Each structure stands twice: as C-alpha cells, then as structure tokens.
Amino acid sequence: MIPMSDATTGPRLVERVRALAEGGGRVLIGVTGCPGAGKSTLAGWLAGALTGGGLPAVWVPMDGFHLADVELERLGRLGRKGAVDTFDGHGYLALLHRLRTETAATVYAPSFDREIEQPIAGAIPVPPAARVVVSEGNYLLFGDEPWSRVRAAMTEVWYVDLDDRVRLDRLVRRHVRFGKTAERAARWVAEVDEPNAAAIRATRSRADLRVDFDTLALPA
Ligand SMILES: Nc1ncnc2c1ncn2[C@@H]1O[C@H](COP(=O)(O)OP(=O)(O)OP(=O)(O)O)[C@@H](O)[C@H]1O
Ligand SMILES: [Mg+2]
C-alpha cells in the first residue's frame, strides 16, 4: 500500500504509476477533484509523460459521457449540465470494464468538444499497446451507483486540490473563453459548478492520493 501524500511532483506521480504497472495488466488511474481544479491538465500531462517514458498511456476523460443536449432538454436538466445526473455514468462504467478486459483490440472512447459542448463518439482510440489509461472526472469517488463500481474499476483514484480563489478565477475565465459573457460565467459558476464542487469535496477522503495542484509545477 502506497501512503497518501499531499506534497508530490509530476515525476513522482509517473514513478508511482510505473510501480503499479509492474504487476502486468492494464492500469487505470482516475483523477478527480472540483470543477476547474486541474484534472484534465494533470491527466493529459501524465499520459504524455508516461508514453514519453516508454509506458504507453492514453487520456480518457469522463467528460465524453456528458449526455447530449437533446437528451438533457428532454430530461429538463440542460440548465445544470455538469451535475452528476447529466452524465451517462453506466456507460462510463461499461467503458472502464472494456478498457480493463478488452486488450486484444482497439477500444474507442468518446471525447467532449468544448467548442460545441457535446460528446463525440469514437474520438479516442485506446490501442492494445496501451498499458495505462488515465481517466478523470468529477464523480469518480461518489458512493452511490454506478459510481461505487467506477471506483472499484480503477486501480487508484487521485484527488486534485487547488486553492479555491485560483480555481474559481480559472473556471470563470474558461467559461468566457468558450463563449459565455463574464456575468453569465460568474452566475454559472455560482449556481451550477459550485454546488457540484461541494458534493465532490465531500468525497475527498476516499482518494488513494491527494495531489496539491498549487505546488505541483508540472515539467514541460
Ligand atoms: N498552471 C496553470 N496556470 C494557469 N491556468 C491553468 C493552469 N493549469 C490549468 N489551467 C487552466 O485552468 C482551467 C482548469 O483546468 P482543467 O481544465 O485542467 O481543470 P478540470 O479540473 O479538468 O476542470 P473541469 O472539471 O471543468 O473539467 C483550464 O482553463 C486550464 O487551462
Ligand atoms: Mg476537465
């Protein structure tokens, strides 16, 4: 059992995954944390660093399992897109099981396109050679179904922490970059993202590792 650590570095995280991969089989690392905490940034970096170091890894975001707007509209949930019941959690779980067991053929995962804010099926190939899958999303440590089984499907789940002031500022900026007015972005963060953040924060103690994104300083 590897102890919990708040102070870590990118290279140490790479070493941790390499150690987990020594047993053979495909390793599934989950990265979770509040909206805007740095999950995608860390997952993308980690997959690149592992692959660059000779351990082929693919970044597979949970974001690809956002329900399409057409379905959110039907369900009356379009106004709180990003909440736990606006994702196809069972579809995500099924993909994780496939990634674990179907290692003889390429498994395709969906991506999420922020320009159109829609999932795109078949966008991310996970080839047989992939030894590590780095996945990331908001709800990986939730206790209810199907999330408890998502947790069980992962080798480890890490929780990314970031100072709330920095996180909220980055979150608002990103909403503006993808088309919201400053006022609408601030309202969306307060009314949609932050209630989600409170629920996610409550799952923090279930993580195998907590990563302090403020001090992580990922190498280029
Ligand atoms: N070191 C950094 N300096 C400045 N901005 C950063 C840094 N790291 C990440 N960001 C920006 O912060 C924002 C949030 O980061 P990221 O998308 O990785 O978080 P996330 O946890 O995946 O968010 P979400 O839950 O909304 O998907 C992004 O716009 C990203 O470009
Ligand atoms: Mg993200």
Domain residue limits, the chain:
10-212
Q: pTM for this one? A: 0.95
Cβ atoms of 158 and 210 closer than 8 Å:
yes
- Ligand 1: which residue has its CA nearest to atom 15? 38
Neighbours of 185 (CB within 10 A): 20
- The model's pLDDT over 72-97, given as tens digits with 9 standing for 90+, comes to 999 999 999 999 999 999 999 999 99
How confident is the model at residue 1, as a pLDDT?
39
79 three-state secondary structure: helix
Mean of the pLDDT values across residues 3-11? 71
Burial 138-175 (b: 16+ CB within 10 A, else e): bbbbbeeebbeebbebbbbbbbbbbeeeebbebbbeeb
How confident is the model at residue 5, as a pLDDT?
54
Residue from 41, 136, 180, 214 to probe ligand 1 pocket by mutation (most atoms less than 8 Å from CB):
41
The Å distance, Cα 43 to ligand 2 centre, comes to 9
* pLDDT higher than 80, residue 3: no
Percent of the chain with pLDDT over 90: 92
Cβ atoms of 41 and 64 closer than 8 Å:
no
Average pLDDT, the chain: 95
55 three-state secondary structure: coil
- The model's pLDDT over 48-75, given as tens digits with 9 standing for 90+, comes to 999 999 999 999 999 999 999 999 999 9
10-212: CATH, from 3.40.190.10, 3.90.870.10, 3.90.79.10, 3.40.50.300: 3.40.50.300
Residue from 158, 170, 204 to probe ligand 1 pocket by mutation (most atoms less than 8 Å from CB):
170
Handedness of CA 83, 87, 89, 92 (dihedral sign): negative
- Ligand 1: which residue has its CA nearest to atom 1? 217
